């Protein structure tokens, strides 16, 4: 009822509240419903708060502000109280900020790149241990640290977090997490033996092996966006369960939301589960090679070879179904229609980030990024302006980072430096104007503040801060 009535502008507010009395007692009082709904909620729950504020940019540098901001984004170990949705965590974590008051999976990796620059390796170790704990409990790393996120994951970057730690501490520092990483891999590969043309959870069968897609095991409205999903289902002329699952699968991708997932012009045409995303399969290629390398280090040559063969097979399938030789670019594959998507997206940079592309493919992607995606403030996310936040005119820190690292790794240092420099200049100019670090930015001009989405622009912001610190370190 609270969600239907729109008591809070942001649906996530209610599900992040903490009850101040026994939940059964609150439920009994609620059943007597002769009261003002908003006052009832405020009397019986502690509402979440965002303690992060901006600063006076005339008195401090952007780098100083980011370093001070970690104090507000680092969270102590979590113990869940009765009636609370937050997940227990045995170690400290880093949150993005704003409405995102809990740990998030792929956000944590990009924040960690910045933490490494500032020497906070102990915190990166705690993030790795938290992820291992979550995998032990759920079999995977949930999208975020709330109960309502435990039916889906996020772009699988645990192996990159471990790579980062191993680079700084040595391989021995991460070997204890190898069983957790293998278990996460098994989660993504559930259904590995399916035949061509079939699908099972996150796997899709092809002749010669399987590729992966995004999915969610719960085909119901998102708890944290209940009103929005119900309103969408009332508007869309399609089966609600399929709609909800495609919406949730887009949330697993991290790209929530983008025209990338649409069959038509609007979100009512979303079809995430019908796509084999090039970025997801590049991440899993990276995971397979990481597993092969760590097993080689431990002396288990047979397991190392198994993962190496899996990676080689995946690369061959991605080349066949996602690479367009004429365009010189990667595209998602619409497996239900046996054709490539026509959406040009920055996901094509991820095969360079994970080393899956050939030199020729990397050269083609580099040309396209420079000619079609590069804007005054960095790389735009897609070439479509839809009103969704993962589309034009927005740029996002994780995508800039992966593109810059990927391009530099294939010898395109000049373009990588140009992209990184434009992005950092945009971060700095917006900070000097507002005293804030943003979740997303308009890279095409204007104020630079990101646009669109189903919630207001957020400040903080974990992955923006991490990338802002890591990019200069990458080159200098």
Range of the domain at 376: 346-475
Answer whether residue 29 is part of any domain: yes
Answer whether residue 400 is part of any domain: yes
Judge whether residue 34 has pLDDT over 70: no
Average pLDDT over residues 3-13: 85
Q: Which residues are catalytic?
A: 256, 439
What pLDDT does 33 receive? 63
What pLDDT does 211 receive? 98
Q: Domain count of the chain?
A: 2
What pLDDT does 50 receive? 78
Answer whether residue 264 is part of any domain: no
Answer whether residue 358 is part of any domain: yes
Answer whether residue 399 is part of any domain: yes
Measured in residues, the chain has a length of: 476
Judge whether residue 446 has pLDDT over 70: yes
Answer whether residue 92 is part of any domain: no
Query: pLDDT digit string (tens) for 384-425?
Result: 999 999 999 999 999 999 999 999 999 999 999 999 999 999
Judge whether residue 51 has pLDDT over 80: no
Query: pLDDT digit string (tens) for 313-365?
Result: 999 999 999 999 999 999 999 999 999 999 999 999 999 999 999 999 999 99
Between 224-228, 238-242, 316-320, 471-475, the lowest mean confidence (pLDDT) is in 471-475
Q: Are 459 and 96 in contact (CB under 8 A)?
A: no
What pLDDT does 289 receive? 97
In the chain, pLDDT over 70 holds for what percent of residues? Answer: 99
What pLDDT does 338 receive? 97
Q: Residue 32 — very low, low, confident or very high, per pLDDT cuts 50/70/90?
A: confident
Answer whether residue 227 is part of any domain: no
Average pLDDT over residues 255-267: 97
Judge whether residue 38 has pLDDT over 90: no
Answer whether residue 408 is part of any domain: yes
Neighbour-count burial of 200, counting CB atoms closer than 10 A to its CB (0-12 exposed, 13-18 middle, 19+ buried): middle
Rounded to the nearest integer, the mean pLDDT of the chain is: 95
């Amino acid at each position: 009822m609270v969600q239907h009535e729109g008591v809070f502008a942001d649906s996530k507010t209610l599900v992040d509240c903490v009850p101040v009395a026994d939940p059964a007692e609150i439920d009994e009082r609620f059943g007597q419903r002769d009261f003002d709904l908003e006052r009832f909620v405020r009397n019986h729950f502690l509402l979440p708060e965002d303690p992060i504020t901006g600063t006076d940019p005339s008195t401090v540098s952007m780098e100083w502000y980011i370093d001070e901001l970690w104090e507000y984004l680092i969270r102590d170990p979590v113990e869940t109280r009765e009636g609370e949705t937050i997940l227990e965590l045995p170690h400290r974590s880093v949150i993005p900020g704003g409405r995102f008051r809990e740990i998030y999976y792929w956000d944590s990796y990009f924040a960690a790149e910045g933490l490494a620059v500032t020497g906070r390796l102990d915190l990166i170790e705690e993030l790795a241990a938290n992820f291992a704990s979550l995998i032990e409990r759920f079999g995977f790393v949930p999208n975020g640290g709330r109960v309502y996120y435990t039916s889906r994951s996020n772009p699988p970057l645990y192996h990159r977090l471990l790579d980062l730690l191993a680079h700084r501490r040595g391989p021995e520092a991460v070997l204890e997490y190898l069983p957790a990483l293998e278990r996460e891999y098994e989660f993504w590969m559930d259904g590995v033996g399916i035949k061509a043309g079939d699908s099972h959870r996150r796997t899709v069968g092809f002749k010669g092996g399987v590729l992966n897609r995004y999915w969610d095991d719960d085909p119901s409205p998102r708890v944290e966006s209940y009103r929005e999903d119900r309103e969408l289902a009332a508007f869309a002329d399609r089966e609600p369960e399929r709609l909800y699952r495609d919406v949730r699968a887009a949330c697993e991708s991290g790209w929530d939301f983008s025209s990338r997932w649409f069959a038509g012009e609007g979100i009512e045409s979303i079809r995430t589960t019908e796509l084999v995303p090039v970025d997801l399969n590049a991440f899993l290629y990276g995971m397979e090679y990481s597993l092969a390398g760590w097993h080689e280090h431990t002396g288990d040559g047979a397991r190392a070879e198994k993962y190496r063969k899996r990676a080689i097979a995946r690369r061959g399938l991605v080349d066949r179904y996602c690479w367009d030789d004429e365009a010189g670019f990667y595209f998602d594959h619409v497996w239900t229609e046996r054709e490539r998507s026509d959406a040009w997206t920055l996901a094509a940079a991820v095969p360079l980030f994970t080393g899956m592309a050939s030199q020729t493919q990397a050269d083609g992607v580099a040309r396209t990024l420079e000619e079609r995606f590069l804007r005054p403030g960095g790389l735009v996310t897609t070439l479509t302006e839809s009103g969704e936040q993962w589309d034009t005119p927005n740029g996002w820190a994780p995508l800039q980072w992966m593109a810059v690292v990927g391009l530099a790794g294939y010898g395109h240092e000049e373009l990588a430096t140009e992209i990184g420099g434009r992005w950092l200049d945009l971060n700095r100019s917006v900070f000097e104007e507002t005293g804030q670090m943003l979740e997303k930015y308009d890279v095409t001009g204007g104020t630079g503040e990101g646009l669109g989405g189903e919630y207001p622009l957020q400040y903080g912001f974990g992955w923006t801060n991490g990338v802002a610190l890591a990019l200069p370190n990458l080159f200098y």
